[in-house]
Amino acid sequence: MRELSYRDALNEALHEEMTRDPRVFVLGEDVGRYGGVLQVTRGLLDKFGEKRVRDTPISEAGIMGLAVGAAMTGMRPVAEIMYIDFSALAMDQIVNQAAKAHYMFGGKTRVPLVMRTQGGGGRGNAAQHSQSLEMWYVHVPGLIVVQPSTPYDAKGLLKSAIRDDNPVIFIEHKLLYNTAGPVPEGEYLIPIGVADVKRLGNHVTIVATSRMVLFALEAAETLAEQGIQAEVIDPRTLKPLDLATIVQSVEKTGRLVVVNEGALTGGFTAEVAARVQRAAFDWLDAPIMQVATEDVPLPYNGRLEFEAIPSVQDIVLAARGALYWNAG
Amino acid sequence: MNLSRDQLVDLYHRMWLIRYFDEAARALFMGNMLRGTTHTCTGQEAVAVGACAALRRDDYITSTHRGHGHCLAKGGDPRAMMAELLGRVTGYCKGKGGSMHIADLDLGILGANGIVGGGIGLATGAAYSADLRGSGQVVVCFFGDGASNQGILMEAGNMAALWQLPIIYLCEQNQYAEFSPSRPFIAVERLEMKAQAFGMPGLTVDGNDLLAVYQAVRGAVERARAGGGPTFLVAHTYRIEGHTVGDPLTYRPKEEAALWKSPERDPISRFGRRLVGELGFAEADLESLRQKARADIDDAIAFGKASPEPEIAALWEDVYA
Ligand SMILES: Cc1ncc(C[n+]2csc(CCOP(=O)(O)OP(=O)(O)O)c2C)c(N)n1
Ligand SMILES: [Mg+2]
């Protein structure tokens, strides 16, 4: 199978969906002429013209507001918010408008929009450009939250997100754009709300999201050298969460490590742990281990930043902990 | 003009400090010594230095992602700044902030900002606070032409005018916002016309003429201090370098930047010519000021490089007051 970068896979999804459906349009800062700060919207302007590939002023609230209104009136906007940190400026439009309209109006309107954005740390962008804010959106009923970790998933999920009739928060990771992986030629979709088992194993289950999936797979290699077979599950969609796939794995392994790049407190790891203990309490042989970012704003200095966000080694230790393998 | 010779010397030196600081930042970034992103304000030195020359030490400024110049102009210490860029514990923010997040509360620098328009609201709050405390302090809120499209400006500008707050909204029209020209994204014919919507005076100034910037800001500051309320001031200038260090600048003609780099337009050359031509300074004196600035920046780099990185324990410090 051909290899594509995460960036190009996303780009291809946009090209395909815009060709397929004239209601789909793209808007955001520098998405047109420049092709996107992360080059995900490259080539769209030439093919689809200015009205469907709209370079906007630096006005995040306006971008998301415009997307909500266009979605309510028959279009399928894909709005790019360059960093998830900047989505804070558009919070009302996302949380109070987009997420609520369908329910609040008794099902009379739909808001089929996608907010494409990216988050995550690891490259010294400091406190206002490194956050993992996915749980802000997971917390809001009415929103769907997607976080692909591979080029294959990125393409298939973006296409599904665009076709979905609900507002979808589609969160990429700034350190994944240059990663490459197999992406088949031709049309395929990945359903929203379905997890993927990225690696099979029967000693411990590791659930990880976004870039942490890559870390978890690396950790699994290390663990394998030590005789521990880890099963790695990527939920791919954080909301709705595919709990069944996780529980099925835990019923096999009896041990669970949850890894997420967001801050620990009130985070994804706690959410998964709560659900799994209720669904599979009798199957658990050890406390559920949480690996997440320290509860601090991300620092600029590299030493500090790498200490703050989860590392491969943190995951290895957590998995060993779940098996009571750590010394002492 | 009410600037002393010593002050003029200081302003000239400060412009070179900024120029060399940004040159050093670029070199360090290209040499993989810096993390994240770094923005230079080369070509915009006269705005920062001219504006801050009209301020008292205890007056406030808010800055932007392109903030090295604002910070140095307000009296920032190049050593602590360079150490911050290098992520060292001796940096302004103990290495936790980096290029985009330098603050010095002792000098009234309420911080550079990674959020475009992020300083506008809090600058207005500082002006409100100065008014409440009756401190006589004034705020200069620096932001870009791109940032003028953020909604917060509409809200904060209205409040400042309503309550006649002592603040100058200083918009640097450097003609670019990230990787696009800024003009096509601003519907109003001239940016200062936005002031009308807020109900405050809207002025414009040649942002590459240091003394003109100084006079304009000084006028606004005097008015603000006397209780006359806010001003919206647009400084016309040009972003000579890329949006970030490493930007290949594929989206604009090379000749354009060359024009703005020329001595006719370069703000440092222009100020130098006035110092020599109208104000009786000797070329040699200016040259030695330039040399001194270069030496100051070399010293700052050496200081930063020699400084230690923070201890890991620092990660959990300063999360709460
Ligand atoms: C809220 C927000 N949106 C977008 C960005 C990305 N961004 C950083 S600088 C910039 C352009 C700012 O242009 P302008 O205000 O003119 O300032 P200049 O860069 O010209 O100094 C953009 C879009 C950001 N940092 N924050
Ligand atoms: Mg600008």
Q: What does the pLDDT look like over A245-280, one tens digit per residue? A: 999 999 999 999 999 999 999 999 999 999 999 999
> Does the beta-carbon distance from A37 to B34 stay under 8 Å?
no
Does the pTM surpass 0.90? The reply is yes
Please report the pLDDT score of residue A326 as a whole number: 80
Residue B66 has φ and ψ, to the nearest 5°, of -100, 65
From the candidate CATH numbers 3.40.50.9100, 3.40.50.1820, 3.40.50.300, 3.40.50.970, the one assigned to the domain spanning A3-182 = 3.40.50.970
Which residues, judged by CB distance below 6 Å to any ligand atom, belong to the binding site of ligand 1? A 29, 58, 60, 82, 86, 89; B 64-66, 114-116, 144-147, 174, 176-178, 182, 239, 243
- What are the structure tokens assigned to B297, written together? 């920046």
Q: Is A92 on the interface with B (CB under 8 A)?
A: no
Please report the pLDDT score of residue B2 as a whole number: 84
Q: Which residues does chain B have within 8 Å of residue A56's beta carbon, measured at their own beta carbons?
A: 185
The mean per-residue pLDDT over the stretch B75-93 comes to 98
Closest CA to A116 of A264, A9, A243, A262: A9
Number of residues that make up chain B: 321
Q: Name every residue in B having a CB less than 8 A away from some CB of A.
A: 34-37, 84, 87-88, 93, 95-98, 100-101, 113-118, 146-147, 149-152, 177-180, 185-186, 251, 309-310, 312, 314-316, 319
Asked if residue B29 has pLDDT above 80, the reply is: yes
The mean per-residue pLDDT over the stretch B272-295 comes to 97
Residues B215 and A142: their CA atoms lie apart, in Å, by: 54
Query: With contact defined as beta carbons under 8 Å apart, do B21 and B300 qualify?
Result: yes
Q: If you search the block for the tokens 């870390």, which residue do you land on?
A: A215
Residues A59 and A56: their CA atoms lie apart, in Å, by: 7
The mean per-residue pLDDT over the stretch A68-91 comes to 98
User: Which ligand 1 atom minimizes the distance to the CA of B178?
Assistant: 11
Query: With contact defined as beta carbons under 8 Å apart, do A75 and A46 qualify?
Result: no
Write out pLDDT tens, residues B96-137. Answer: 999 999 999 999 999 999 999 999 999 999 999 999 999 999
> Does the beta-carbon distance from A300 to B36 stay under 8 Å?
yes
3-state secondary structure (DSSP) of residue A35 = coil
Superfamily (CATH H level) for B5-308: Thiamin diphosphate (ThDP)-binding fold, Pyr/PP domains (3.40.50.970)
Residue type, A236: R
Please report the pLDDT score of residue B186 as a whole number: 97
Q: What angle do CA B60, B2, B228 make, to 5 degrees?
A: 50
> Does the beta-carbon distance from B95 to A301 stay under 8 Å?
yes
- For residue B115, give the nearest of A56, A57, A128 by CB distance: A128
- What are the structure tokens assigned to B141, written together? 């809120």
Q: Whose CA is nearest to atom 12 of ligand 1?
A: B177
The mean per-residue pLDDT over the stretch A40-55 comes to 98
Please, which residues have CB within 8 angstroms of residue A305's CB and are 6 or more apart in sequence?
A121, A122, A124, A130, A298, A299
Which of A42, A58, A84, A264 is most worth mutating to test chain B (most B CB atoms within 10 A of its CB)? A58
Q: Which residues does chain A have within 8 Å of residue B34's beta carbon, measured at their own beta carbons?
A: 124
Burial of B251 (0-12, 13-18, 19+ CB in 10 A): middle
Q: Which of residues 61-80 of A touch B (CB under 8 A)?
A: 61-62
> Does the beta-carbon distance from B101 to A294 stay under 8 Å?
no
Please report the pLDDT score of residue B118 as a whole number: 98
Residue B233 has φ and ψ, to the nearest 5°, of -125, 125
Percentage above 70 pLDDT, chain B: 100
Which chain B residue is nearest to residue A35, measuring alpha carbons? Answer: B179
Write out pLDDT tens, residues B205-262. Answer: 999 999 999 999 999 999 999 999 999 999 999 999 999 999 999 999 999 999 999 9
Min Cα separation B124/chain A (Å): 18
Per-residue pLDDT band at A327 (split at 50, 70, 90):
low
Asked if residue A328 has pLDDT above 60, the reply is: no
Which ligand is nearest the CA of A37, by number? 1
Write out pLDDT tens, residues A26-39. Answer: 999 999 999 999 99
Distance A115 CA to ligand 2 centre (A): 25
Q: Which residues does chain A have within 8 Å of residue B176's beta carbon, measured at their own beta carbons?
A: none
Q: Whose CA is nearest to atom 23 of ligand 1?
A: B178
Every domain of chain A with CATH number 3.40.50.970 lies at 3-182
The domain at A196-324 falls in which architecture?
3-Layer(aba) Sandwich (3.40)
Q: Alpha helices, DSSP H only, in chain A? A: 6-20, 44-48, 60-72, 91, 101-104, 134-138, 151-163, 211-225, 243-253, 268-280, 302-308, 312-322
Distance B172 CA to ligand 2 centre (A): 7
Q: Which residues does chain B have within 8 Å of residue A85's beta carbon, measured at their own beta carbons?
A: 114-115
Distance B191 CA to ligand 1 centre (A): 17
Which chain B residue is nearest to residue A128, measuring alpha carbons? Answer: B114
Every domain of chain A with CATH number 3.40.50.920 lies at 196-324
Please report the pLDDT score of residue B132 as a whole number: 98
The mean per-residue pLDDT over the stretch B178-202 comes to 97
Distance B171 CA to ligand 2 centre (A): 9
- What are the structure tokens assigned to B165, written together? 């707050």
Min Cα separation A55/chain B (Å): 9
Ligand 1 pocket: which of B45, B115, B116 to mutate (most atoms within 8 A of CB): B116
> Does the beta-carbon distance from B101 to A129 stay under 8 Å?
no
Write out pLDDT tens, residues B1-27. Answer: 689 999 999 999 999 999 999 999 999
- ipTM here: 0.97
3-state secondary structure (DSSP) of residue A38 = coil
Residues A156 and A152: their CA atoms lie apart, in Å, by: 6
Asked if residue B77 has pLDDT above 80, the reply is: yes
